[in-house]
Amino acid sequence: MRTSTFILALIILIVSACEQQPAYEELGLEEITITELQEGYANGHFTIEEVTKAYLQRIEDIDQNGPELNSIIKINPQAVETARALDQELEEGNKRGPLHGIAVVLKDNVDMKGMATTAGARIMEDALPPDDAFITQKLQEAGAVVLGKANLSEWANFHSSFSSSGWSGLGGQTRNPYDITRNPCGSSAGSGAAVSANLTVFAIGTETNGSITCPSTANGIVGIKPTVGLLSRDGIIPISFTQDTPGPMARTVTDAAIALGTMVGVDTNDVKTAASEGNFNTDYTQFLNKDGIKGKRIGFYTGPLGNHHRVDSLTQQTIRLLEDKGATIVEIDDISEENVGGDSFQVLLYEFKDGLNKYLASLGENAPVDSLAQLVDSTLADSVEMQYFDHDLLITASKKGNLESQEYKEALERMKRYTRAEGIDRVMDENNLDAIVSPTGGPAWKTDLTNGDNFGLSSSSPAARAGYPNITVPMGYIDGLPVGLSFFGRAWSEPELIEIAYAFEQATNVRKAPEFRGWEK
């Protein structure tokens, strides 16, 4: 080959490589924050349409191809059109709110008009809701671009006697971006994996017990599980009227706080939100204080310790850091004097049946079945749904009575009493605490569809059963796998928890992007 021909061929190869470089990398979206995106829109560095297309391409490259995280169950066909319209609004001097042009993924138990809400169940594949969920509407009013729906543990992991987090009959198994052989944890598995892998700026998860905090710790991100009632559950497929709440999942406390403030508000379709009147803030960034640990009395809940010595060691190092930053630490062995796990389980069974039947009724003619009982029959007859798991919880819940049952009322009363007045509130009053901390969970386990999940340790239950807020922040890594620290406390204490969580994040700054270990390129 002549030299000139060789040089020409080389130039063509270089140009071709540049043309194939993902727009995501060209735009510098790796680990980008809401504030950085807003600055980029303002100075013309990129448009909302360009950013949206870049995220959609990354989802195709990373989620559907490449490592095949399988975190996104469906793409919003209107995403680019929405982005284009938001660009036009900016050109006209109209900025909707703090999320204008910011990409979000919704867990697929959250309604968005025009897209089916499936909870990962095959029978729900065409279940189109009549309206947006309250929080979906609030996000769009603030300018968010919904990229799509996240895969989840089917029925938010309330379906089988044992299961694999992140698996659904419709969406398959979600993988952990730090190591694709490992589990993303929790029912908001797709939301956690998508945020961590930079497929979106933030995502919405939902929690009944651990389903925001667990995927946040396992995927190395920040998760906020608010006080039940701070955010409306209207338009969200339920498990528990008492314990359910949606919440933001993001890579930084700041981004999670921004997102949280856009979704608050009293909603007549969710009576729990009435109590949030006077207790919510539309701007939680005002509580971001780098010195937020100094002077605080923090309870150290040691109950989850003793299950993983390396988590114990990392937690003890973190406790010393909190003391170095000016906190007074008070060790707490137990939060409740009674084990109310059985009571909580009964509450979930009764409320799942009642809530799901009401949700199915709200779908009208788009409901694939009329009741949980019919859902059970259809599920048991589906070979894909029954390939790995028994769906025994669906069966058990379908046999429960209504919410007038004495068994339900007694379980609910005991759970509330021993987790609130005689639980978190009592412990905090007796020790004059501002917050409680504990390791969120252990390193992600190997995904196992034969034996199911292996949680190891968790600190989510006290706040979850009480309906109180809980924030998890990356604490460190064990063999390259992230582990988080949880901050929880009284009802409506989001401002104090955000302050402490932000100060901890700024003092440690341990978050690092995943490298998809186990994927052979």
What are the phi and psi torsion angles at 476 (to 5°)? 170, -170
Residue of 71, 107, 276, 325 marked active site: 107
Is residue 364 within 8 Å of residue 135, measured between CB atoms?
no
- Helix (H), strand (E) at residue 248: strand 245-250
Residue type, 270: D
Residues 6 or more apart from 414 whose CB is under 8 A from it? Answer: 338, 340, 343
Token digits for 342?
A: 């059985």
Residue of 164, 187, 276, 460 marked active site: 187
User: Based on the number of CB atoms within 10 Å of its own CB, is 355 exposed (0-12), middle (13-18) or buried (19 or more)?
Assistant: buried
- SS3 at position 401: coil
Give helix 48-58 / helix 34-42 axis angle, nearest 10°: 140
DSSP string, 52-82: HHHHHHHIIIIIISTT----EEEE-TTHHHH
400 is catalytic: no
Of 169, 173, 172, 219, which Cα lies nearest the Cα of 194?
Answer: 219
Is residue 145 within 8 Å of residue 102, measured between CB atoms?
yes
Token digits for 441?
A: 């969970």
Beta strands in 282-360, from DSSP E residues, in sequence order: 297-301, 328-332
493 is catalytic: no
107 is catalytic: yes
Residue of 160, 211, 232, 344 marked active site: 211
Active site residue ranges: 107, 187, 211
